[in-house]
Structure 1
């Protein structure tokens, strides 16, 4: 007998759990944007946002949260090395490490207590945790992974999920080249808060307005950035946002005092959405959320002091789109801004490029992808993960792999969605007991306890979910994976 797969919506509506990790502000900002999209969508009964680090031990929280930025400041080359090493897909294929698992127990308890029908992860740590829980049958909910930088990074890949939302089409093509099914991946953009209901228009007359994010740059570097703008020869006015750094705000105010009313200095402000839409040029770091907010506002960027790894790659993408320029030396920031402002039509072209790049509906689209998508998860077997890693290290696309290590997909005949990615050699056990007609198999719950390899048993449990059987077809990867 066939039963409905997965928990699905309850009679009272969806129960959505949004999991993040407060390493920097971006992941939590994306979580807040998804929550806002939940509030605007019908059929959702309850929403909860949970920061994994806030319910972990203080030591774990400090090492992951504060420790990362200590490395950024002190040994940025090590951060870049770590980013590149961890960029290989499925380099780590085993269960989450014991220390992370121990610190995640409060999160697991909260997940069980909340009983979600949908889980959305805006950081790779909870994404890895949820994949483990999904495979073990601890949770029965649709799960989505929502990335928060323009370049896809391999740590976000997990062994089980329902939907993955990436920032741009190249990320979707990259995952397809790894062998991931295109029906489970969408390029939605990076989730940001909804714009103001009546966003202000940029002034057609008067000097261009610069928006300087000094709090993001931080400390002496922020002072150097502001000081450099004082050497710009083109007409401009500027708003300097220092965040909650009161000491920095006082230093900036003293520095720009001789310039009269050309500068306005702010501390923390809730009016950033308005400031972004009123400004003509942004000067600051290319964090994923900051950059996404600028693009949605049609605001081009002058990039300064990017964190090695993700922010450098964010900047590369924005420059490729024509929506940003980068300053590799603090001594040339003033000159770079002047070049943008002096060249006729350049600022307007960059603003148009930013508008084309922006994805203001990313949060809504990522949420819809999950809630309107397949009820069954995609399971990527450990053996398939080995093939994906090997292909990446050999710099080939997964469809170039042949023989027993080649990847194949199992596609739900009724829903049309891919439910499993495995190696060709793993089909032997399945075909021996689940053979159907031609390229079809009928997976049966009654067979799940038979002496298969443990990975095939886990695959059957994960794919069948609440059903007694499932008819699937076997598909090889397309020669041109991205279509």
Structure 2
């Protein structure tokens, strides 16, 4: 395959940023739009393009991933939870992309060729895995970032090659560095959300508390049950119910709340969400990564209902740990639960303060800074190192504590101090035969010698050199050198 290179673009021409997402739910695309918006604040970005990779795929593939997922959420939630757990171990997925995904990726690769990006941001694991394959094969040399969109890190997002990995919270960063990933390649930025300008004034403490009730992506009977239970509340309140594009649901709820007069306002799809988030006192809905991040940035605590097993349950756990949310596990007690929050003196205000502390409104800008101002060479995690990390995690062992041939080592670019490879100690043999220096370091070269290279070592060398002929590196053993650094 012909190699796509952006190295010919000069600094004066500026960065050509490609943002890759996948329309499974709205969160991944919302994060992509937030990063696109943040590009306007950077003078070094000449052009930006957002691409939903599923829009370039076949209808069958798109429906299987998009509609199929929500069908499972509705009818077989236990299977969604099982799928989440089975794909959570780090580097459980290794090796080439499956043939069906590879075939559906061809139009995406064509779009990348035409755009010629110098930098790529992935807000879904599918394009992240594809970009790792292209980087390893030498097809692209753009700086590539992986941006997660839930508070808890899932191992499915880990790829063998990337320039930067951005996670939602500090605990995820600590987890990844404990696995062996270098601190200079992982940052806790939060989840990218759009910056809202000229939004409505903040909530008015003299008015009755306002509930913002979201029906979520699927809506339906559960949303009706939530609204019905609020009719039994004893505390004074007003409520805005957002039904999205579900007109039938909107009509059902309008009929349900008609006897309550002006207490309820029922909306369909609305562009007012930023203003509503600022005016509301309490959000009632599902803890999707983007929804939760927007609430936290607005200082809006949450009453969590009907979370999707897996990522949304874990999002909710984090929000409750921070004191910014409460969860209701059954629709029958939602009204009572909200009443408890509103009636306890000072509780709502404490939750609002906790939400503000948790919010990361500058996440999108921080992602761009971390990628565009960060290392130009990718981090390569060899397959042997990936196997070590997976095996250690399955034994409940921290990979950075390992010793012996299966322990992990890093190769550090001596010129800039960034990590360029994570290897199994045993893998150093091939490199040392060719490139060892008297001081114990290595000088990697694009040369011809009689010593035969294995296929994996050739791939690693190509990715690390990134078009250069020479790269001096030093070897660092993790068990003696790991430090958990401030984010």
Q: Under a length normalisation based on structure 1, what TM-score does the superposition of the two structures give?
A: 0.97
CA drift at 1:437: 3.2
In structure 2, the partner of 1:337 is 338
Partner of 2:66, secondary structure, is helix
Cα pair distance change 1:116/1:416, threshold 3 Å:
same
SS at match of 1:467: coil
Per the alignment, residue 455 of structure 1 pairs with 456
Partner of 2:174: 173
CA distance in 2, matches of 1:411, 1:437: 17
How far apart are 1:451 and its partner, in Å?
A: 1.4
Measured after TM superposition, the shift of residue 447 of structure 1 is: 4.6
Range moving further from structure 2, 22-31 or 210-219:
210-219
Q: Distance in 1 between matches of 2:227 and 2:338?
A: 12
Q: CA deviation at 1:467?
A: 1.1
For residues 245-289 of structure 1, give each alpha carbon's deviation from its aligned partner in whole angstroms, at most 9, with x where no partner exists: 111111111100100000011111011011001100000000000
The offset of 1:448, in angstroms, is: 8.3
State the match for 1:143 in structure 2.
Answer: 144
Aligned residues of 2:189 and 2:360 also touching (Cα < 8 A): yes
CA contact 2:434–2:451 (8 Å) conserved in 1: no
Alpha-carbon spacing, 1:297–1:211, altered in 2? closer, same or farther (3 Å): same
- Give the equivalent residue in structure 1 for 2:227: 226
Residues 371 and 203 (structure 1), Cα distance of their counterparts in 2 relative to 1, 3 Å cut: same
Q: In the aligned structure 2, how far is the partner of 1:199 from the partner of 1:378?
A: 43
After superposition, where does 1:136-285 map in structure 2 within 5 Å? 136-216=137-217, 218-285=219-286
Output the CA distance in 2 between the equivalents of 1:470 and 1:345.
Answer: 59
Partner-residue secondary structure (3-state), 1:11: helix
Q: Secondary structure at the match of 2:89?
A: coil
Q: CA deviation at 1:290?
A: 0.1
CA distance in 1, matches of 2:11, 2:144: 16
Q: Displacement, 1:180?
A: 0.5
Equivalents in 2 of 1:320, 1:448: separation in Å? 57
Are residue 313 (structure 1) and residue 314 (structure 2) matched? yes
Aligned counterparts of 2:114 and 2:221: Cα–Cα separation in 1: 46
Question: 1:410 corresponds to which residue?
Answer: 411
Separation in 2, partners of 1:291, 1:437: 54
Rate the CA distance shift 1:320–1:468 in 2: closer, same or farther, 3 A: same
Deviation at 1:216, TM superposition (A): 3.7
CA contact (8 A) 1:399 1:481 kept: no
Describe the shift of the 1:7–1:94 C-alpha distance in structure 2 as closer, same or farther (beyond 3 A). farther
Pairwise CA distance, 1:403: 1.0
In 1, Cα distance between equivalents of 2:449 and 2:33: 40
Contact 1:217 1:305 in 2 (8 A): no
Secondary structure in 1 aligned to 2:293?
Answer: helix
- How far off is 1:205 after superposition? 0.1
Give, in angstroms, the shift of residue 389 of structure 1: 0.3
Q: Which runs of 5+ in 1 are unaligned?
A: none
Aligned to 2:297: 296
Per-residue CA deviations over 1:74-93 (Å, capped at 9, x if unaligned) read: 11001101100100111121
Give the whole-Å Cα distance in 2 for the aligned partners of 1:217 and 1:63.
17
Secondary structure in structure 2 of the residue aligned to 1:111: helix
Residues of 1 paired with 2:14 and 2:335: CA distance?
A: 54
Give the drift of 1:177. Answer: 1.1
Supply the distance in 1 between the matched residues of 2:218 and 2:206 (Cα, whole angstroms): 30
Alignment of 1:418-433 (within 5 A): 418-433=419-434
Deviation (angstroms), 1:478: 4.5
Change (3 A) 1:424 1:6: farther
Assess if the C-alpha contact under 8 Å between 2:31 and 2:192 holds in 1: yes
Query: How many residues are treated as equivalent by the alignment?
Result: 480
Instruction: Write the mapping of 1:347-366 to structure 2, written as runs, cut at 5 A.
Output: 347-366=348-367
Q: Contact 2:216 / 2:286 at 8 angstroms: preserved in 1?
A: no
In the alignment, the residues of structure 2 paired with residue 256 and residue 217 of structure 1 have an alpha-carbon distance, to the nearest angstrom, of: 20
TM-score by length of 2: 0.96
Q: Quote the offset at 1:37 in angstroms.
A: 0.6
Cα deviation for residue 9 of structure 1 reads 5.4
Q: Secondary structure at the match of 2:409?
A: strand
* Alpha-carbon distance in structure 2 between the residues aligned to 1:481 and 1:156: 23
Paired with 2:9 and 2:418, the residues of 1 have a C-alpha distance of 16
- Partner residue in 1 for 2:53: 52
